[in-house]
Amino acid sequence: MAAPLNLTVQLTEQQLSFRWEALEEEQLNGVLWGYRVQWELGGKSQELQFRENKANLSSEGQFFNASFRVSACTAVGCGPWSPPVMVLPAQAPRPRAQRGHGWVALLVAVLTAVMLGLLIAMLIRRREKETQFGAVFDDVSHRAEPTVSFTAARSFNRQGPEITESTLDCLGISDELKTKLEDVLIAQRLLTLGHMLGKGEFGSVREAHMKMEDGSVQKVAVKVLKSDISSSCDVEQCLREAAYMKEFHHPNVIQLIGVSLQRRPQQRLPVPMVILPFMKHGDLHTFLLMSRMGGQPFALSLQTLVQFMLDIARGMEYLSSKNFIHRDLAARNCMLNEDMTVCVADFGLSKKIYSGDYYRQGSASKLPVKWIALESLADNIYTTQSDVWAFGVTMWEIMTRGQTPYPGVENSEIYEYLIKGGRLKQPPGCLDDIYNIMYSCWSPNPKGRPAFQQLIEQLEGVGAGLPLGRGEEELLYVNLAEGGEQEGQAGAAPWQRGEEDWPLMPAGAAGATGGDYRYIIGPRNTTEDYSRVGPSGPPPQQEEEEEDAVVDV
């Protein structure tokens, strides 16, 4: 394989552009995958990959005295490096004579005065904008929160095309992905970030306010990629997730509002921020957990639980019809909307099926072992049928009100447990019909599992056969605080009693609370605090039931 030749460099104040001659087919050892660009500066080397025979990097003077070289890459590997090219700062010519000092001083004075005037004008203008924006927020904070209806793929005063194009080029983003993102890129200046709602391996979720085209301000949730990203591949993964979500239009699948690229000082790569609708009741797992372990437990009828399952099944059926594999379906990745509708969310692990009907995990990554299908654990193969397996585990989470699957079984023991025929046990109070549905999702043969459309029909049949009255299990969640509840509301959930600010926090738990959105971080201990039921503790006949409700998470 030959090395690329004729590497040329053009350096400006904002950008470093360089090109090289593309290799012919007879010069390659296989099909060309792209080019690897490496540069050394101060004894340290960095490299990026580009698909074409050109590259653009954000400069800002950081590439002076850097040495660049390029190599071509195919399926076999990467070829030899090109001859290195050194980037040197331009040298200003020395003055030939020491004259005209008076004119030079006058010119410097005029330029200084002009620059000071422009700076003062910019500061005044910026102050006016901040005052207007603050007035809008002050107005919002003193009135009832409006009901927001979001439409995906809508433009909100997008960033300037020249800024976005330059940023995406520096990241090596493909033209196909840039086309998908051009209608959803939102300027960072339109967002005001608030407190953190939750965080995970991929990043964090923050409450935010976004200024709309008509001047109004709406509350949103912003998913921020971790700031310690080390390569453009991490940024591209988040942007690709946003492009996937742009195509979703279903009431049980969370819709994308937009994506913004946040630039930070002393950081070469921008941080992607995915903007999503604000879900008032948070994630389903926390909601289920708080129904049992919160400071104010509340009842969830069997009809409500089955409706949760139906919402998830309908969302997953829609995704499978779009040839998408979720790969991380769980109660923690399902969100509850204002009207208690469940939306499937978090596609950080999802992949589109471009060819065939499966996706093979090729790189090492942390995967949710207790939700992964048997064949996925064995061969790293993911299909829609493996999503069906995860749906069965999610059904079990719902019926147990947020318990951790396979209690007592370590992650390292899951595969051996499943290969020997072990499965999740039928939860107490779970109807045989419901358990049979979730058990069918765990067939060792992927083709023996039901499709999501079939699961929808089965759950609809179960829901139609349920009585309209309250089940006995609801009596376990009656709030027995001193003074009791009003007649007819003892087992009702806080949102059913009209409470706008109800505590979603278990006794002894550490959590983040703000507004109407709560995220549980984890209990500090596994003993229930019975102080809320009176000094004598719970009645003897209820003590065993209360202890069963405690889960070690």
Structural tokens at position 48: 């990026």
Spatial separation of the C-alpha atoms in residues 323 and 352, rounded to whole Å: 6
Phi then psi for residue 131, to 5 deg, are -65, -45
Spatial separation of the C-alpha atoms in residues 548 and 428, rounded to whole Å: 10
- Looking at residue 36, its amino acid is R
The answer to whether 36 and 78 are in contact (CB under 8 A) is: yes
DSSP lists the bridge partners of residue 58 as 15
The answer to whether 328 and 393 are in contact (CB under 8 A) is: no
The verdict on whether 328 is a catalytic residue reads yes
The answer to whether 186 and 246 are in contact (CB under 8 A) is: no
> Do you know the residue count of the chain?
553
Q: DSSP assignment of 14-58, as one string?
A: SEEEEE-PPPPGGGSSSSEEEEEEEEEETTEEEEEEESSSEEEEE
Closest CA to 363 of 243, 259, 231: 231
Task: Kindly provide the residue ranges of all beta strands, DSSP E only, lying in 233-323, ordered along the sequence.
Answer: 258-262, 271-277
- Looking at residue 126, its amino acid is R
**Set 283, 328, 346, 516: catalytic member:** 328
The answer to whether 207 and 199 are in contact (CB under 8 A) is: no
Spatial separation of the C-alpha atoms in residues 406 and 393, rounded to whole Å: 10
**Tell me, what DSSP letter sits at residue 188?**
G
Spatial separation of the C-alpha atoms in residues 232 and 172, rounded to whole Å: 7
Q: DSSP assignment of 154-177, as one string?
A: --SSPPPHHHHHHHHHHHT--HHH
370 annotated binding-site participant:
no
Spatial separation of the C-alpha atoms in residues 90 and 201, rounded to whole Å: 44
Catalytic residues: 328
Known binding-site residues for ATP equal 223
